[in-house]
Amino acid sequence: MSVDALHISLYPFLAAASNYVKESGITLDDLITAAAFERARLRGKERIREAIRARTVRKPKILSAAQAEVELLSYPFARILVSCIGDERLVRRYALSESKSAYEKLLEESSSGSSSDDCINELSREFGMRVAVVRQEREREQVKILFSDYLRFTSTLRDKRWKLVNRGLEKGWVNLRKAEFFRIVQEAIYERIKKDLPLDVPGALCDSIRSYTEDLRVELANWQKKYDESGFESTSGFRVRDPRYFPPCIAAILSNLKEGVNVPHSARFAATAFLLNIGLTEDEIMELYKNAPDFDEERTRYQVEHIAGDKGSVRYTAPSCDTMRTYGNCIKPLQGLRVSPSRARGGMGGALDAAESHSDDVCERITHPLSYYKLKVKMEAKK
């Protein structure tokens, strides 16, 4: 087994992986029907199941050329399965899971002593980034990226630390730690995977692999049902007050977080403060953020604890409706979040539908998201 085959089997979204499969002579018909490729089909199905269940796609230890081939071929088959299922939420969840797993593998390989320079140069060429690797004190590596490329690849990262004004800029080059460069690469991988999905797969082909897609549809339905019915159920089994009473703005923010959509800092602050004020614990709120593409557990916990008042500050309340409108986080009556209503429903479908059904007569009567929540609870109690 060549080193190249081993490497690209772990990163099947690379152009080199696509070329490798093309040069192997294996046709689409072979991949779909030949008994010899059943292991690849099953692994492709498992990639999606892992994404649905755990928001990750494991990177198995490759010990043979046959294993590398299975891993390589499972990726295009997984893309076909996602396309035949045709669910937009699954597309985003799958792309996010593949990209996060790649990011974690890059960090692992980099810390294990593998040649970082070669990896960084390969990835920068792959995605058209102009970078330079420099060595700092104690042989630590730092990556410099041209500011125009930096802006292009961080446009969807909402955390304040990614804003150009908060970065070291020298003669047009932005300074990054190696892990930060890999995080930008994760975003590029996510966009590449998501961009082409769903593929235009003929109906007859989808019918021929129905035995694979039906099982995955059940998995997907169970995942969606878990969130639609239970709202925010923690690992301890605690169930939050009925999320149908959440104002539309908060329901949409939480829906986006669950689906792995990047959410602005102002929206995250609003949702966190709101949930703290209605009784969620910090650990339960942390669970909501684990889907975020830029999730950093240490940083997120610090921010949640700060809003909760654990860091010596006052305990924050949720922003008023006027403030929500100012930051573009109000769904009605002015502009909504940067997501269409159909996308915003996502895992909070029932909650958002219910909130929107009362938005005209409730939203216009209140000036604060917490007032909306209290009024809806009172209205339901009267019923």
Mean pLDDT on 42-62: 93
What's the CA dihedral at 192, 198, 204, 210 to 10 degrees?
A: 100
Query: Given pLDDT bands bounded at 50, 70 and 90, which one contains residue 355?
Result: very low
Please choose, from the candidates 12, 3, 2, the residue with its C-alpha nearest in 3D space to the C-alpha of residue 40: 12
Summarize pLDDT for 54-95 with one digit per residue, the tens. Answer: 888 999 888 888 999 999 999 999 999 999 999 988 999 999
- Identify the pLDDT of residue 294: 75
What is the distance between the alpha carbons of residues 331 and 256, in angstroms, rounded to a whole number? 13
Mean pLDDT of the chain: 83
CB atoms within 10 A of CB 236: 8
Instruction: Write out the two tokens for 15.
Output: 């152009």
CA 270/CA 160 separation, integer angstroms? 15
Closest CA to 13 of 85, 94, 133, 89: 94
Contacts of 216 (CB under 8 A, 6+ apart): 45, 48, 49, 52, 81, 85
Helix ranges (H only) for 209-362 are: 210-230, 248-259, 265-277, 282-289, 297-308, 321-326, 341-345, 349-357
Inter-residue contact 98 to 59 (CB < 8 Å): no
Q: How far is 100 from 59, CA to CA, in rounded Å? A: 11
Contact 143, 173 (CB under 8 A): no
As a 3-state breakdown, the chain gives helix, strand, coil percent values, each rounded to 5, of 65, 5, 30
Q: What's the rounded Cα separation, in Å, for the pair 137 and 159?
A: 28
Distance CA 187, CA 319 (A): 30
Backbone angles phi, psi at 167, to 5 degrees: -110, 160
Least confident of 99-103, 156-160, 299-303, 373-377: 156-160
Give the contacts of 279 (CB within 8 A, at least 6 positions apart).
240, 241
Peptide bond preceding 333 in cis form (omega within 30 of 0) = yes
The answer to whether the beta carbons of residues 41 and 31 sit under 8 Å apart is yes
Q: How many CB atoms lie within 10 A of CB 302?
A: 13
Distant-in-sequence, close-in-space partners of 46: CB < 8 Å, separation ≥ 6: 74
Q: Residue 75 is encoded by which pair of tokens?
A: 């990726």
Quick one: DSSP state of residue 361? I
CA–CA distance, 276 with 44 (Å, rounded to integer): 40
- How much is the pLDDT for 316? 85
**Who contacts 15 (Cβ-Cβ below 8 Å, separation ≥6)?**
126
Q: Quick: pLDDT tens for 324-342.
A: 999 999 986 443 333 333 3
Q: Looking at residue 313, what is its pLDDT?
A: 58
